Structure 1
């Protein structure tokens, strides 16, 4: 009789795999988006600004900071890709035009790894017999570079979407209060919803950092709360001395 084993970890993370390649961009874009927007909201609430002003400041932050962060992500990934391609072309030229020198470099690499004698000669012959393997070995073992497979455009877009979606969370309560009546203080509702979102993002972050769930959630909560409290009390203080 066959016993079907259910892997809870595999079931729990199956949907994560769909976004695995760009998960770091999604996670850190989300953290930056919600932390910065909630800090803006908290500072504005501390200064007793009108709902209209809070929404304007929050939306301006979403657009300006979101674009800035996504452009930074795009340029960072593009720089890594361009740097790899530059060294790849250099190594290809050297293999084609300076094969003896490049062969000596392969020999030195594997000698440093403990190979010697006939074993070393066999390994060097096997690697240099295939130019693609030879090239890959030079890139990884000599230069310490590996091919950058992420699309800079997709990385930038992932960062922007994550920033905007997560960053909009602290503003939801204010939009509801703007179009209708809300029984609770918008800032209190925004704080609760943002707190829950921090916990969710902390949970997802464990798949990027491999840290424990408790530590990941705690770090996200502490950093977000500290930024919001600093902004709130600064807003409150400035409102008192400037009005």
Structure 2
């Protein structure tokens, strides 16, 4: 590791900086929802554009197909995300009720679960008993510990409606970008498609860079990775459209 990198790590691990970092709230789920919607919106819409262009469809048909797909798929994805987050929230609530009931009915059994959980982590003797006593003395801490250790559930409270709205907004906002060149009828269709491809590529790269903030990956590598994957999806759609056009002898529509 370079000396400058080591110095930065040492600075991050000073007592006051550790305390500040641990008190910081986890990164909002909204960022993940936005990245999810944005990537899918751009990939899906530009795939439609590429497939329709490869099939020889007119700009008007491309716009109709693109906007219909944009709204329908965006809504579908938002609903799917709503259901997924809602199911996760209900699972967490059910697990919490279960633990509350168990602690009320069989507290000694639940204490033994805490004891075995931390014994498996390597604690023993007086240290282990001190941990058990400390945790079980605080009912809320006891429940939260069981949810994390036994069920593997995080404690972040996420609103299904907010997640769905963020996903839909990102899907539409980013997904509409590849369609904008086809709104300018004064441009030749090939030029429209070229501009659409450039805009889509830019969106893929920017979204990939944003994704790196969520998953703590190198910024440029994440940008190029998303660009490559999005471009591959678009190229596949174009080839299928072009192949079907040749297969069925479709003229420009």
**TM-score class normalised by the smaller sequence:** 0.7 to 0.9
Q: Which string of whole-angstrom CA distances, capped at 9 and with x for unpartnered residues, describes residues 127-155 of structure 1? A: 21221111112111222222241111111
Question: SS in structure 2 opposite 1:150?
Answer: coil
Question: SS in structure 1 opposite 2:154?
Answer: coil
Residue of structure 1 equivalent to 2:10: none
Q: Is the 8 A contact 2:29 2:163 kept in 1?
A: no
Q: Which string of whole-angstrom CA distances, capped at 9 and with x for unpartnered residues, describes residues 148-178 of structure 1? A: 411111111110000001110110000122x
Match status 1:60 vs 2:65: no
Q: Which string of whole-angstrom CA distances, capped at 9 and with x for unpartnered residues, describes residues 184-224 of structure 1? A: 72111111121222221122111012111221111111111
* Aligned equivalents of 1:169, 1:136: Cα separation in 2: 44
* Aligned equivalents of 1:116, 1:241: Cα separation in 2: 72
Q: 1:27 aligns with which of 32, 35, 40?
A: 35
Q: 1:214 aligns with which of 214, 220, 223?
A: 220
Task: Tell me how large the CA RMSD over aligned residues is.
Answer: 1.7
TM superposition score normalised by structure 2: 0.83
* Aligned equivalents of 1:43, 1:145: Cα separation in 2: 42
Q: How many residues align?
A: 223
* Aligned equivalents of 2:115, 2:106: Cα separation in 1: 14
TM superposition score normalised by structure 1: 0.87
Match status 1:198 vs 2:196: no
Q: Which string of whole-angstrom CA distances, capped at 9 and with x for unpartnered residues, describes residues 21-66 of structure 1? A: 4111111211110111101101111111111110110011101111
Match status 1:45 vs 2:50: no
Question: SS in structure 1 opposite 2:123?
Answer: coil
Match status 1:182 vs 2:187: yes
* Aligned equivalents of 2:126, 2:202: Cα separation in 1: 63
Q: Is the 8 A contact 1:81 1:148 kept in 2?
A: no
Question: SS in structure 1 opposite 2:37?
Answer: helix
Runs of 4+ with deviation above 6 angstroms: none
What stretches of structure 1 of length at least 5 have no aligned partner?
A: 1-16
* Aligned equivalents of 1:98, 1:48: Cα separation in 2: 70
Q: 2:242 aligns with which of 211, 236, 239?
A: 236
Q: 2:107 aligns with which of 94, 99, 107?
A: 99
* Aligned equivalents of 1:20, 1:119: Cα separation in 2: 35
Match status 1:170 vs 2:178: yes
Residue of structure 2 equivalent to 1:135: 143
